[in-house]
Structure 1
Amino acid sequence: MAVREPLTQVIGRAGEQVKRRTRVRRPSSAEGRDAYHVMVAVGEERQLVPLASFGCALARSREGRMTLVTVTPDGTRPPWLKVPPSCADVPVDVLVLRQMKAPGQDLAHLVNQKPPDLLVIGWRGEPKRGRYLLGRTLDPVLRNVLCDVAVVRSDFARTPRNVLVPTAGGPNAARALEIALSLGSDVQITALYVAQRSLGQPEVILGRERLRAAVAPWEGQSLIQRRVVQAHDIVRGILGEANSGRYDLLLIGASNESAVDRALFGNVPQTVAVDSPIPTVVIRRQAETVQRRLRHAWWRVWRFFPTISTAEQVEVYKRIHRGARPGVDFFIMISLSAALAAIGLLMDSSTVIIGAMVVAPLMSALLALGLGVTMGNLRMIRMALGSVLKGAFLAILVGLLVGTSMPKAAPTGEVLARSHPSIVDLVVALLSGMAGAYAICRRDILAALVGVAIAAAVVPPLATVGIGISMGSAQIAGGALLLFLTNLIAISATGGLVFLAFGFQPEPSESERSRVFHRGLLSTLFLVLVVALPLIWLTWRSVQQTSLQRAITDVLTSEVPQRYVEVTEWHICEREGETFCLEITARVDHVVTEEETAALQRRLAARLKRPVSLHVIAIPVQYFHIQVSPSATVPMTKSTNSAALQP
């Protein structure tokens, strides 16, 4: 960390901040308004010499000045805050801030009052987990300061002689090269490009071109050498070169610091800085105004999201692991839940189906799958996936047995509702996964997990698959299976994202788990897209059918003469291209002629704007109306719009 987090609370009026500035020596003539200014933030004694030595080397090479700054609870200067002998030839100021808010916020506020050219801060090399990239203190500085930042990890007390600068053409890498050149005229710099071995020789050629473009501004400098190495991944390539013994400093440009990038692709500079065998400096250029404001707005919203401690993370892990383990209780509850769901589906009873949702244990297994991906825990992924598959097979089998025991049962509304999934079901599953993961991480609202299980409805689709198989209906079974796969993928995906927000993530040093984590997240996103495509198509087809049915109903209502015909039902027969067959069943009180049917067909085709093949089933009827009068006799009269039928 650049600044030590205090253990005491500072009491003072709001907005008050005491600054104590000490001028170590009078600045030289080179120091003026435009002199290169390096500000070094020191949080503890052991950071003083390495950070000050690095800052002095940069200020010296540009005939600039340096400011040492620290934050203390009461604003007093620590006894160890002295200018090192290595900075004797550099104008140095010492500034002490009284802590008013968090140390990182106080430092950022000071820097932004009159931004230096470069801010140097230290880092212990122990990254925080979850939302923070480098820690609770450093992240506010990185987000908010209006200057370039150099994050220094490890100790060194002398100017380096051989500097390694990995580059892929980004702006931060160019800034790292510029700072490396500022370390001194006798510093040898190696610009490194790591070509992924799987991409072969074309990637090596591309790397040479990118290095040539990266060092083009300093083409005349003989101090910069270009080097391309092949490795299985970028981190391995950089660490392998740094471990060769030829370098005494690694300068690397920062990558995008957004949470999405870190989750999907990892943070290469952070991982390299943690595992580097030599002193490492991560360089980040000042962000553009729009980018900085967007990042600041994102973090203002993000900070309201609650956090959990490491002990709470362990408790959540144990709770999910225990609930997803495929033991005897797991299979008994799956069997009972599937039986209840199947009976409720065949009875068309939503109450019974809700009871089945409450007792189903599959929700824990789905959340365990998301947690396993987030933590890069391959063992948990296998256990959760095995539990889901075994539970799904058992639920389908129970649904098949219940459906077979009722051979004369017909598809009910509840069965049909689960055989026609739509994109809305995907949205519900995504939200259910987020709610379930959030509830299980927060002990105070753990009871809400029951409601989430009802909303997700994991077991009823599996029971519907078994019922569809027992009825010999591939449409029912296939639609219900698609609904279950939608729930499986969506709940695991968004549940994993919530776990990531709560800090569940493999450490950058755990390379194997990090690979599982990244591949798992990319695979999950791919599966969400894959399952969304048929749902979008089914939703579009359902909307089209609904629109067509509404149009036909409106046409029949307006075009069919009510005084002659009463339509009791209609349905669409087999369609042939744009022409579709419409079969109408109606009660009539007269003989319907072919000319009348043809006229109705023409009116339907004109209103629907497509060819229509019309079939009319006319059922002759006679209407009677029985009227009860106060007299003893009960007259029987015909309806006024009915014609008498002679016997």
Structure 2
Amino acid sequence: MSDEQERSGSRVMVAVGERGHLEPLLAVGCALAGARDGRVVVLSVTPDGQRPSWLTLPERCGEVEVEVQVRAGAKPGVAIARSLLLDPPDALLLGWEGDAGRGRYLLGSTLDPVLQRAPCDVMVVRITPEDEALGEPSSTERLAKRLAAIKRILVPAAGGPNAALAIRQGLDLAPEAQVTALYVARRSLGPGAVALGRERLRQTLEPWADNERVRPLVVQSDDIVAGILQEAKRHDLLYVGASEESLVGRALFGNIPQRVAAESPTPVIVVRHGAGRVGSLLRQVRWGLFEALPKVDVSERAEIYLDIWRGARPRVDFYVMIGLAAAIAALGLLLNSPAVIIGAMLVAPLMAAVIALGLGVVQGDARLLRVAIRSVVRGAVLAIAVGLLMSLAGSGRAPTAEMLSRAQPSLLDLAVALASGAAGAYALSRKDVSASLPGVAIAAALVPPLATVGLGLGMGQLAMAGGALLLFATNLVAISAAGGLIFLWLGFAPEPEENKRQVFRSGVWGAAILLGVISIILGWLSVDSLRAAKLDRGVQAAIVAELGALGEVELVSWEVEAAESAALHLDMTVKSAGEIDPAGAAAFQREVAARLGRPVGLTLSTVPTQHLAPVLPPAPRP
């Protein structure tokens, strides 16, 4: 919204829900509306749609007309958002008491839906205890006194659009005030960070280059929030641009505007620029996805945490069940029996420990992470050892199809593991769907790959063991990462302490790197597998098409090997009633090579065959 649009009859909406919010919001709203030749609409949402008795205000606030609207609604946030969509104002003011949102919410379950859905500029004014203590109705004189006290306004700026909006509104709010745009450079980054800060402030303040009321300021600090709060002590109002970070970003780095607004000793206004109708629609879609999962309150989160903690602890029962599950899986692999392998998946307790990895990262809980890692490592070593021991029972046997299928992981296996991790975390968090956990355990398939590793080592099949170990690593990383994302979505998050956020950051980056490495490896293997499958289809088609050149023969089997050069070697076995003409074999070889477009070597094995006509059995003797 341009300055010209803002100043042509702007409408500023002030949403109030409590007596203590009215005066500070009305003071800001009237000042902004007066600077834009506009008017103020005070919106109140009550369960019955009746105007509350405390909603008493002057008919005019200076030269600004004030109107009152009352809406009925059980959820104020939803009712306010609906009013904004039906008749969007130019700006919206909300009150916030400084309580930091927990888990999924930034400022709380009432304010967040409005922030996400509002198509207009939004300002959140932090309400102080002194504001809430006011009992008498607002007066024009007291509102004017509030604004006259503002002489110095501080706006932290790092180049985002919200900072520019905060500067513009600060100039409108207090026409005599000095506005300082602040950039906090990390001391550890040295002079380069200071130079970067000056350049960013120059770009941000370019529209006010000739305005003596706006000045830049770069300070150095070990912590950005501490630097802002220290400078705020020398100002009368702190105007903060809201963060555009996602839920994951806030958990990774903390939400700086929220922390500043909650901890500042100076009055605070948090501002977010309007996204317009299209941008608002996109935000609503994102918010709808955010709200799609059910909410998990604090007591439920504590219960979920304890359940997962108990399941992840490596006690005697854990080791016994891992050993039995590995033995069952190894026998199922040796017998090539999917039913037996599924039984092993159902009794294996390793899934809880893997899910605990994701929860430990999201909570920033180093202790839970240590317990989960210890359980996973010890359980994996035990399962491999049991598989190695069970390989003695299959001594001399060739690898079965079930073994080989677990030695060739692909990107599809990664997708299955991601879905399984998300389903497992959700099922553990929602008692209503906990019956789905056995199915999740079957889909996750953690123990059979470990048993395959042991069997492969015992049989001397190192390639098979390596492939199965890669499948287990894929499942481990993907399940814990997807599970952690679901926990984050459900409201779990690290505490504000820096050490817990550091654990979270390290865990997220570690999981992202491991997922990236595994995806690259699986992608390469998948491409190689697709290339081999395409070659096999081409060879099969060429053999079937040119088999007639060999005469009356029946194809038994064939194998193809690619040499280091472009040449192929085809080893083929056929049934024939007579000898195959060498000229016919040479013609077959040439035609197959022509169809494949590559040199082809041929080893042709013939199985002599006699076809006897049916005869009647001899008549029985009397």
Decide: shared fold, TM above 0.5.
yes
The one-character-per-residue Cα deviations of 1:365-413 (angstroms, maximum 9, x if unpaired) are 1111111112222221222122111111111111111114542232111
Contact 1:75 / 1:96 at 8 angstroms: preserved in 2?
Answer: no
1:630 Cα offset (Å) = 7.0
2:198 pairs with one of 200, 208, 211 = 208
Counterpart of 1:517 in structure 2: which amino acid? Answer: F
Q: Secondary structure at the match of 2:184?
A: strand
Equivalent of 1:126 in 99, 119, 122 = 99
Q: Hey, what does 2:218 align to over in structure 1?
A: 228
Report what 2:163 is aligned to.
Answer: 173
1:233 CA drift (Å) = 5.5
The percent identity for this pair of structures is 49
Please tell me whether the aligned partners of residues 356 and 368 of structure 2 are also in contact (alpha carbons under 8 angstroms).
Answer: yes
The partner residue of 2:29 within 55, 74, 87 is: 55
User: Compared with structure 1, are the counterparts of its residues 623 and 114 closer, same or farther at alpha carbon in structure 2 (3 Å cutoff)?
Assistant: closer
Q: 1:454 to 1:233 in 2, by over 3 A?
A: farther
Of 511, 532, 536, the match for 1:545 = 532
Residue 98 of structure 2 corresponds to residue 108 of structure 1:
no
What residue is the counterpart of 2:310 in the other structure?
A: 322
Q: Which moved more, 1:461-470 or 1:519-528?
A: 519-528
Of 220, 233, 236, the residue aligned with 1:248 is: 236
- CA distance, structure 2, for counterparts of residue 412 and residue 33 of structure 1: 78
CA distance in 2, matches of 1:399, 1:96: 73
Aligned counterpart, 2:138: none
Q: Is the 8 A contact 2:186 2:222 kept in 1?
A: yes
1:293-325 per-residue CA deviation (whole Å, 9 max, x = no partner) reads: 122233345434222222221111111111011
2:294 to 293, 298, 306: 306
Amino acid of the residue matched to residue 78 of structure 1? P
Task: Give the whole-Å Cα distance in 2 for the aligned partners of 1:60 and 1:512.
Answer: 47
Q: 1:108 Cα shift? A: 3.0
Could you tell me whether the CA contact under 8 Å between 1:266 and 1:518 is conserved in 2?
no
Residue equivalent to 2:136: none
Tell me if structure 2 keeps the 8 A contact 1:75–1:97.
yes
Deviates further, 428-437 or 468-477:
468-477
Alignment of 1:463-478 (within 5 A): 463-478=451-466
Match of 1:140 in 2: 113
Compared CA separation, residues 510 and 275, structure 1 to 2 (3 A): farther
Match of 2:345 in 1: 357
1:82 to 48, 51, 56: 56
Alignment-mate amino acid for residue 43 of structure 1? G
Unpaired runs of 5+ residues, structure 2, are 1-5, 132-145
Q: 1:33 to 1:57 in 2, by over 3 A?
A: closer
Tell me if the contact between 1:192 and 1:229 (Cα under 8 Å) persists in the aligned partners: yes
1:139: Cα distance to partner?
A: 2.3
Conserved? CA contact 2:411–2:519, under 8 Å: yes
* d(CA) in 2 for partners of 1:247, 1:511: 27
Say whether 1:378 aligns with 2:366.
yes
DSSP-derived class of the 1:182 partner:
helix
Which amino acid in structure 2 is aligned with residue 171 of structure 1? P
Offset from partner CA, 1:163-203 (integer Å, 9 cap, x none):
22111222111000111112323322221123344544333
Q: Is the CA contact (8 Å cut-off) linking 2:13 and 2:43 kept in structure 1?
A: yes
Q: Secondary structure at the match of 1:152?
A: strand
* CA–CA separation in structure 1 for the residues paired with 2:265 and 2:378: 46
Q: Following superposition of structure 1 onto structure 2, how do residues 565-580 of structure 1 map, counting pairs within 5 Å?
A: 565-573=553-561, 575-580=563-568
Q: Aligned-pair distance for 1:607?
A: 1.0
**1:72 corresponds to 2:72:** no
- Cα distance change of structure 1 residues 108 and 180 upon mapping to structure 2, 3 Å threshold: same
The 1:436/1:629 distance shift into structure 2, 3 A limit, reads same
How has the CA–CA distance of structure 1 residues 237 and 584 changed in structure 2, closer, same or farther, with 3 Å as cutoff? farther
**Post-superposition offset of 1:69:** 2.9
Measure how far apart 1:626 and its partner are. Answer: 4.8
| Equivalent of 1:389 in 377, 396, 405 | 377
3-state DSSP class of the match of 1:504? coil
The answer to whether residue 118 in structure 2 is matched with residue 149 in structure 1 is: no
TM-score norm. by structure 2 comes to: 0.90
- 2:526 partner SS: helix
1:193 aligns with 2:166: no
Aligned 8 A contact 1:432 1:456 in 2: yes
Q: Is the 8 A contact 1:169 1:214 kept in 2?
A: yes
Instruction: Confirm or deny that 1:34 pairs with 2:8.
Output: yes
- The answer for the alignment partner of 1:12 in structure 2 is none
Q: Does 1:504 align with 2:478?
A: no
Distance in 2 between the 1:522 and 1:173 partners?
A: 29
Tell me which residue corresponds to 1:27: none
Taking only aligned residues, the RMSD between alpha carbons, in angstroms, comes to 2.6
Distance 1:489 1:231, change over 3 A: farther
> Which of 428, 431, 449 is residue 419 of structure 2 equivalent to?
431
Seen in structure 2, the aligned counterparts of structure 1 residues 186 and 113 have a Cα distance that, compared at 3 Å, is: same
Match of 1:421 in 2: 409
- Determine the C-alpha separation between the residues in 2 that align with 1:240 and 1:411: 69
Aligned mate of 2:597, from 592, 609, 620 = 609
Shift of residue 477 of structure 1? 1.0
Q: Which amino acid aligns with 1:471?
A: M
In structure 1, distance between residues paired with 2:192 and 2:598 = 56
Please say if residues 69 and 97 of structure 1, whose CA atoms lie closer than 8 Å, have aligned partners that are also in contact.
yes
Query: 1:167 is aligned with what amino acid?
Result: A
Counterpart of 1:341 in structure 2 is 329
Which residue matches 1:530? 517
User: Counterparts of 1:390 and 1:74 in 2: how far apart (Å)?
Assistant: 61
Whole-Å separation in 2 of the counterparts to 1:90 and 1:379: 61
> Larger deviation: 446-455 or 278-287?
278-287
Any idea what SS the aligned residue of 1:179 has?
Answer: helix
How far apart in 2 are the matches of 1:570 and 1:153?
Answer: 77
Normalised by the length of structure 1, the TM-score is 0.86
Output the CA distance in 1 between the equivalents of 2:219 and 2:392: 65
Any unmatched runs of 5+ in structure 1? Answer: 1-31, 634-647
Q: Which has the higher helix share?
A: 2
Which of the residues 568, 576, 600 maps onto 1:588?
Answer: 576
Corresponding residue of 1:270: 258
Residues 164 and 251, structure 1, Cα contact 8 Å, conserved in 2: yes
Residue 260 of structure 1: how far off its partner (Å): 5.3
Give, as a single letter, the amino acid of the residue that structure 2 aligns with 1:437.
A
1:46 aligns to what? 20
- Cα distance in structure 2, aligned partners of 1:492 and 1:575: 41
